[in-house]
Structure 1
């Protein structure tokens, strides 16, 4: 009787919180790239796909109130469309049921760890798990309370090193996840990387020769909000800007100080790509900035985990040009993509590697571009698989996503630790240091 009551209570909450999307539909659209690109910020582009012969694909959400007018708009501009989800609220209710069922099954069979790769966990559960790992593996893993979110949640930073970050000859790899709060599958990938490095230690060289910094939940406020109120919430939950009472939060991946403030569409607070009142206005994004800057002398690679689209995207997103080390970016991306594709499901789209603006569309204020400009030689936005489920990757697929992505991370990490790449990194650092000296001499 108690279990029945709890299940009914869960259903009541689930049905109530998804009413926001009752009758909303998802449409897959395809059209000339410029026509699709200008929709960013005007519509909720839940995903975009690679340009093919000048055409770009995207997934958009349309409410009943605006559906007819937008479909007419598409027809007038030669944008094809077809509906892929008839009622978004019902899709979210099904996702809730799957997550809860998977969590109950996992709890019944798992005894050796608090988190597995079979469902999704809440922010506090994840933090508890990280603290437990820090206690059990204190010789190689340290969990730092990196800072607090706008609503006061603790953001954990995981540092993995066999030498306590004291060996300055070792390169550093930095990974963050959950900058966009609706992209649930990103955090399990970050947690699995930690597990493979420290718990199972499947490749000792990866921690003997490399130091790692991983932020599994960069936007905890938004993440909790997706569980409690709005499954499609993307931004932070801050209220530091004009208009925040009606439209709180900013897009964390538009808040970095790289061509920030140069696109008018990013300045609208109610837009899902709102860049914020100033660069690094968000405590969550300042934390990522600080982690990168603390390790800038040794940081060899930075990856920001996102979902979805099966892509490794590199700079520069603001103008479509490629950094001086574009060949290295392409080569490493291809290497990681090949490793992932070798383990991918047959229905999964092969990974695409390329310049973000050329593959998709122009963007400013992204972590990928800012970290590259700051001096990290290899930086990517990594878009994980969504299959036919978009952001709602069912718990049954989490194990597949984390394992195939880990294969890509391993391939990239071994390139980082290779002698040739290490020389390249040291040259990059020397050039950056020289540039800073010359710049300071002018002041």
Structure 2
């Protein structure tokens, strides 16, 4: 009875299912194919066994000399390793038991949560209902600076909200846009959006940069874009990636929302089969989540200076394009800003990030939101791939949330600093004017005293 009571509570809270997918004995292997025969075998077996590719996203992107990270179910594990040995293909075990890692992280998170019941804990992962409540609390507590807005709804009719942070102004303001959680299982991205909001609200009064920026620019932050998928990772399948819309008469579910935008949609780096984790959808912007974001961005595109799409894992800072080897019109600017950002990440916690074009550094992809933003002539468009490099993959432990968010914050603040100095009225000009006025006032007072 106790189990079913908990189960019923879970359904009421999460609108989910009690039948959770488990990964007992599953391992994540790092395999490096060395010759064409290795590549062909891995592509064949991945497709036949429907293995969960963690890196790269696509079977076609498996290449000789490049790492392949793949989750192998326990039922296939012995045969997989034997085949790899027979073909003399190098591999290492990255995660020895996926379910044990998930359980361990859940226990760690539970302990950390109990230690901070009085206030919102930014060093743990939060389910969706807690994030909804957090947005309400943030909006109420900082009503002078923060407003909450309805972006749209999901396929399962859950609301998607964004927080607008900035001082009210009669003048038209510029916009800095950030969304997190477009891929459901990438929980660290969702944690970062919340961290960013808290950092801005905690520091803006004592930070001259933020003080100036918030007068001229508004931050639009979407903490969880793929709400249905995110809820599903908490209730049913931790490693789910897509949204939850049904296709092929309900025989399969979900679209990879980061391949659903109208930016060379459906041309490269996608799958047209709906059971694929990188299914791009039946048409551009076919999903209600995508439609909602498109509507907002296109309405404000002339005012948006920066668009940031936050992911994990890979430790990368990417810029357009993913669908082409062509360079952006402002490629040199994007590269310069990215280099500065990754240098600051290294300085913070000695974690190495790599910057570059998506198609060159990662893989070919079409329909990505960051490429679509660049197509709209938004000046600075980036994809952040946060920690880690594969040791934990999508199961980044809660004790790594804080350092990950800290280093990412230094990178994002460097982008904001660049925006301030390049596209906004520089605060230094304002401060210089104030100092000159003070000096002139003193001179006038001295002259007046001498005359009298």
Fold shared, TM-score > 0.5 on shorter chain? yes
Judged with a 3 Å threshold, the aligned counterparts in structure 2 of structure 1 residues 106 and 278 are, in CA distance, closer, same or farther, namely: same
Judged with a 3 Å threshold, the aligned counterparts in structure 2 of structure 1 residues 82 and 408 are, in CA distance, closer, same or farther, namely: same
* Structure 2 Cα separation of the partners of residues 69 and 105 of structure 1: 44
How far off is 1:79 after superposition? 5.2
**1:379 equivalent in structure 2:** 381
How far off is 1:192 after superposition? 1.5
How far off is 1:173 after superposition? 0.9
Paired residue secondary structure (1:250): coil
How far off is 1:75 after superposition? 6.7
**2:123 equivalent in structure 1:** 118
* Structure 1 Cα separation of the partners of residues 270 and 144 of structure 2: 48
Gaps of 5+ in 1: 424-443
* Structure 1 Cα separation of the partners of residues 363 and 86 of structure 2: 22
How far off is 1:222 after superposition? 0.8
* Structure 1 Cα separation of the partners of residues 166 and 191 of structure 2: 21
How far off is 1:321 after superposition? 2.2
Matches within 5 A, 1:338-377: 338-344=343-349, 346=350, 348=351, 350-377=352-379
Could you report, residue by residue, the CA deviation over 1:108-135 in whole angstroms, capped at 9, with x for unpaired residues? xx4xx4x222211111111111111112
Structure exhibiting the larger radius of gyration computed from Cα positions: 2
* Structure 2 Cα separation of the partners of residues 406 and 264 of structure 1: 30
Gaps of 5+ in 2: 11-17, 426-452
Could you report, residue by residue, the CA deviation over 1:378-405 in whole angstroms, capped at 9, with x for unpaired residues? 1111000126322111112211111211
- Counterpart of 1:242 (choices 240, 248, 251) is 248
| 1:140 pairs with 2:145 | yes
**2:174 equivalent in structure 1:** 171
Deviates more, 1:54-63 or 1:68-77: 68-77
Paired residue secondary structure (2:32): strand
* Structure 2 Cα separation of the partners of residues 309 and 88 of structure 1: 18
Could you report, residue by residue, the CA deviation over 1:144-182 in whole angstroms, capped at 9, with x for unpaired residues? 122221112111111112135x533x4311100000010
**1:288 equivalent in structure 2:** 293
Could you report, residue by residue, the CA deviation over 1:361-417 in whole angstroms, capped at 9, with x for unpaired residues? 111111111111122121111000126322111112211111211111111001012
Judged with a 3 Å threshold, the aligned counterparts in structure 2 of structure 1 residues 79 and 294 are, in CA distance, closer, same or farther, namely: farther
* Structure 2 Cα separation of the partners of residues 230 and 64 of structure 1: 17
Judged with a 3 Å threshold, the aligned counterparts in structure 2 of structure 1 residues 66 and 152 are, in CA distance, closer, same or farther, namely: same
- Counterpart of 1:94 (choices 104, 111, 129) is 104
Paired residue secondary structure (1:96): helix
Matches within 5 A, 1:324-343: 324-343=329-348
**2:198 equivalent in structure 1:** 195
How far off is 1:320 after superposition? 2.4
Paired residue secondary structure (1:217): coil
**2:401 equivalent in structure 1:** 398
Deviates more, 1:29-38 or 1:80-89: 29-38
Could you report, residue by residue, the CA deviation over 1:259-316 in whole angstroms, capped at 9, with x for unpaired residues? 1122485101111001111111111122222222122011111110000111111111
* Conservation of the 8 A alpha-carbon contact between 2:32 and 2:64: no
Judged with a 3 Å threshold, the aligned counterparts in structure 2 of structure 1 residues 38 and 162 are, in CA distance, closer, same or farther, namely: farther
**1:407 equivalent in structure 2:** 410
Paired residue secondary structure (1:157): strand
The alignment's TM-score, normalised by the length of structure 1, stands at 0.82
- Counterpart of 2:70 (choices 44, 56, 60) is 60
* Structure 2 Cα separation of the partners of residues 38 and 176 of structure 1: 32
Deviates more, 1:78-87 or 1:287-296: 78-87
Provide the aligned length of Structure 1 versus Structure 2: 399
* Structure 2 Cα separation of the partners of residues 333 and 358 of structure 1: 15
* Conservation of the 8 A alpha-carbon contact between 1:256 and 1:365: yes
The alignment's TM-score, normalised by the length of structure 2, stands at 0.80
Matches within 5 A, 1:146-225: 146-164=151-169, 166-168=170-172, 170-201=173-204, 202=207, 203-225=210-232
Could you report, residue by residue, the CA deviation over 1:14-46 in whole angstroms, capped at 9, with x for unpaired residues? xx8665312211001224699499699864222
* Conservation of the 8 A alpha-carbon contact between 1:259 and 1:364: yes
* Conservation of the 8 A alpha-carbon contact between 2:258 and 2:369: yes
Matches within 5 A, 1:294-313: 294-313=299-318
